[in-house]
Structure 1
Amino acid sequence: MRKISRLLLAALIAAAGMLVATAGPAYATLPGFVLSSTTASLPTSLSALATGKRIQYVTTNINGGVITATGLVLTPKTNKKNRVVAWGHGTTGLADQCAPSTSQAVFWNEARLAIAEMLTRGWTVAAPDYPGLGTAQAHPYLIGASAGRSLIDNVRAARNLDSALSTQYVVDGHSQGGQGSLFASQLAPSYDGNLVLKGTAAIAPVSNTQEFINYIPGTPGQGYLVMALTGVSVVEPSFKPNNVLAAPAEAQLGVLQSGCLPEILATYQNFSATDLVEGGVVPAAVVSKMASYENPAQTALSAPVLIVHGTEDEAVPYFASEILVDQIEAYGVPVTFHTIPGANHDQAVVQSVTVVADWIAARFT
C-alpha cells in the first residue's frame, strides 16, 4: 500500500510539473501578470504612509502585442479599503532613467501630494512608469492608447499581488497621465476584463492638440513637441521626426536619452520657431497624424469623468479642456469640469488634491 502511495505521489508531482511547465509561459503573456516584484524605495512622504513594490508586469502595445512594463504598487499601512486607484504621472522624459519607480528625481512633488492623499483615504495606488520607461523598448510618448493599457494592467498586477483588492478601480492622472487616464476609460469595456471602472479623473490632460501644436515652436515648452514627434515614430517607424525638425533641433536630439524633462526643456527653450521645425510650422498632415494618436474622446468614455484645469496653464492650454468637456458630453457621459482660476500646469494638481480625492470617494461609494 505504501509503495502504491509513493508511486501515486510521484505521478502527481510529475503531472504538476508538466502543468506548470506548460501553463506558466501562457500565464506569463496575460496582461497584468507580475514578472517580478521587489521592495520599492519611496519618497519619505509616501514611505510613512505605504509599503511599496516595484514591479515588472505584462501589458500590450497599441497593436495588441505582448510587452513588459514597470511600475509601482503602493499599499496603505493603515485604513486599507481594498479599492485601487491607478495614477498616471505627468511627463518625465523618454529615457529609462526617467522612470518614477526608480528615480525620485522625477517623482514630481505634485504626484507625491496626490498619491499621499489617496493612500490616506485607504486606497491602494497602482502607478505605472509607462512602456519604454525602465524597459528595453522605446517610450511611445503621448500615444494615449499605450499609457491607457499600462494603467489598466498595473491595476491587474496590483490585484495579482493582493487578491483581497476589489475589482472596482478609478483612473486618475496629470498631463500625459490625464490623457492616458481618458484613453483607459475608452479602452476599458473591451480591455479590462473583470475589472469595474468607476470613474476617470484627468488633471490638465493633453487633448485637442491640433488646436495648439503650431503655437508651440519658439516658446519655452517646445521640448515637449520634440518628444511628441519622437513618440509618433515609436509606433509608426516610417514617420521620421527629422523630416519635421530643423537642423539645430536635430543636432540636440541626444538629450532625449541623456536627460529627463528638465534637461530636455532647458535644451530647447531658447530656440526660435525656425530653429525648431522647418519653416517654423509643423505641416498640417503631421499635426493631424499626431492628433490621431494623442487626442482622447475620439470614442466614448465608459465611466463618469472629472476634468480639472488651471486657467493659466503654460503647457496644455485651458481652452483644450473646454473643448474636451463638450466632446465627452456629446457621448452622454457625465462630466464634472473643475476650473482653478490662476493655476498653472502643476498647481492644478496641488490645488485640487482634496477635490479629486472627494470625487473618487464618491465613485467608490
Structure 2
Amino acid sequence: MPLGQVDIGVAFLGGSATKIVYRTTDGVTGGGTETSATVFVPKGSAPAGGWPIVSVGHGTTGVTDECAPSLYPNLLGTIGLVTPFLERGTVVVVTDYQGLGTPGDPAYLNIDAAAYDVIDAVRAARTVVPDVGTRWGAIGTSQGGQAVWAAAERNAEYGDGLELVGVAALSPAADLTRYFAADTEQTLSRQLLVPFLYEGLHVTDPSVERSDYIRGTFADNVTALTACSDLLGFSKADAGAVIDPADAVPADDRAANRMTDWLRSVALPTSRTDVPLFVLVGERDDLIDPQWTRDAVAKACGLGDDVELRSEPEQGHADLAANGIGVDWLVERFLNVPNSTTCAR
C-alpha cells in the first residue's frame, strides 16, 4: 500500500504502510488459513535489538469483506491506536481477522481464531520488516480487546520465539454470557450487535436459523446492520430507528439457550497467563456491561493472572480517550516498568 493511500497522520509522521496476506491457524477447524493485515513502520532506523512491535486488535467493523480495515486509510477508525506507537518508534501490525477480506466466513468472537490472528500477524510483520525484534505487545478495543486478551492466554502454547511484554484490553468483549439474561436491558447498542452475534454462532453451528434471532424490520435492514454502513449510504443509527426491539431477541428459550451456550464458549478467561494484562472499562458503557468485565477480571485474578483493572466513570464503550491510557500502559511494559495489579493476593 503506497504511503499516499494511508492515513494523513501516518504520512505526517513519515511512516510507511504495507498490506500483507499471511498464514495462520483456522480457529474453527484447526487447519491452515490466510488472513490479511496492515504493517506500519516508523521513520528512521531500527534501534539496537530491532524495532519493538505492537499487534492491534480492531473493534467490530462488519462481517462482510468490504469491512476489512486494511481497505481504508483510517482502518475504519482503528488508526487512533496506530499513530501513537509510530510516534514512539514502534512498528504496528493490524490484523483484519480471519474471513474479513480473505476467503472464508468471519469467525466472529472465536477466541482461538482471534488469538492466532493477533500472534501470527507479528510473525508475518517480522518477515516483511526484517529489523523487527522479538519483543511485542498487543492492544485492542471491544472485539479487539477480546482478541488481544485471548492472545495473552494462548501465548504460552502458540507464541514461541516471541516475547510478549503486555496486553491492554479496552472495553473488551470478554464475557457476554449474560447478554440475553432477563435482567439485561436491551439497549439500542445491544440490539445492533445481535446480527453479528448470530453470524458468530452460525459459523460454529450452521444449523441455526436467522429468524430465531433477527425478524421483522430488523431482518429487513440486516444488510445495512452487518456491513460498512457508509458504503451503503445507510447508517446503522438510521436502521436502529426503525427496528422493533422485539425483533432483536431470541425467539424462544431454546434459541436463547443456544446463543448463551455459544457466548459462554467464547468467553474469557479460559486459562491462566503470565502476561501482564491491563483492562479498562467505561462505567457508561451501554453495550458491554462493566460488571460483566469486572467479573471476568475477578475470574482471571482467581486463576493467578496479574491484571490491572481501571474504571473510567465518565467513559462509555470504546471511548477514544481510552486509547491514550492503554498506549501509555503498554509503552511502560516495553520500558520494563514493573506492572501493577488490582488482583487481591
Same fold (TM over 0.5): yes
In structure 1, the residue matched to 2:32 is 66
Partners in 2 of 1:78 and 1:206 — Cα distance? Answer: 36
Q: If the length of structure 2 is used for normalisation, what is the TM-score?
A: 0.85
Question: 5+ residue gaps in structure 2?
Answer: 337-345
Write the letter of the residue equivalent to 2:191. Q
- Counterpart selection for 1:275 from 243, 247, 250: 247
Partners in 2 of 1:230 and 1:188 — Cα distance? Answer: 27
- The number of residue pairs the alignment matches comes to 324
Question: 5+ residue gaps in structure 1?
Answer: 1-37
Partners in 2 of 1:210 and 1:340 — Cα distance? Answer: 23
In structure 1, the residue matched to 2:328 is 358
In structure 1, the residue matched to 2:124 is 157
Deviations 1:74-133 (A, max 9, x none): 01114755111101111101111111111246521xx32321111111111010011111
CA contact (8 A) 1:312 1:344 kept: yes
Partners in 2 of 1:186 and 1:270 — Cα distance? Answer: 41
Deviations 1:139-176 (A, max 9, x none): 12222221221111111101111222111111110000
- Counterpart selection for 2:21 from 56, 63, 66: 56
- 1:43: Cα distance to partner? 0.9
- 1:279: Cα distance to partner? 4.3
In structure 1, the residue matched to 2:208 is 239
CA contact (8 A) 2:217 2:244 kept: no
- Counterpart selection for 2:188 from 209, 219, 222: 219
- 1:59: Cα distance to partner? 1.2
| 1:226–1:282 distance in 2 versus 1, CA, 3 Å | farther
Write the letter of the residue equivalent to 1:360. L
Q: Which has the larger radius of gyration?
A: 1
Q: Which moved more, 1:321-330 or 1:279-288?
A: 279-288
Write the letter of the residue equivalent to 1:140. A
Partners in 2 of 1:254 and 1:72 — Cα distance? Answer: 26
Q: If the length of structure 1 is used for normalisation, what is the TM-score?
A: 0.81
In structure 1, the residue matched to 2:164 is 197
CA contact (8 A) 2:175 2:267 kept: yes
- Identity among equivalent positions (%) equals 24
Write the letter of the residue equivalent to 2:18. K
Q: Secondary structure at the match of 1:84?
A: strand
Q: Secondary structure at the match of 2:304?
A: coil
Q: Secondary structure at the match of 1:166?
A: strand
Partners in 2 of 1:99 and 1:178 — Cα distance? Answer: 17
- The question of 1:76 aligning with 2:42 is answered yes
After TM superposition, list the pairs within 5 Å mapping 1:336-355 onto structure 2.
336-347=308-319, 350-355=320-325
- 1:284: Cα distance to partner? 4.0
- Counterpart selection for 2:9 from 35, 45, 54: 45
Q: Secondary structure at the match of 1:315?
A: coil
CA contact (8 A) 1:58 1:66 kept: yes
- Counterpart selection for 1:299 from 254, 266, 271: 271
Measured on the aligned residues, the alpha-carbon RMSD in Å equals 2.4
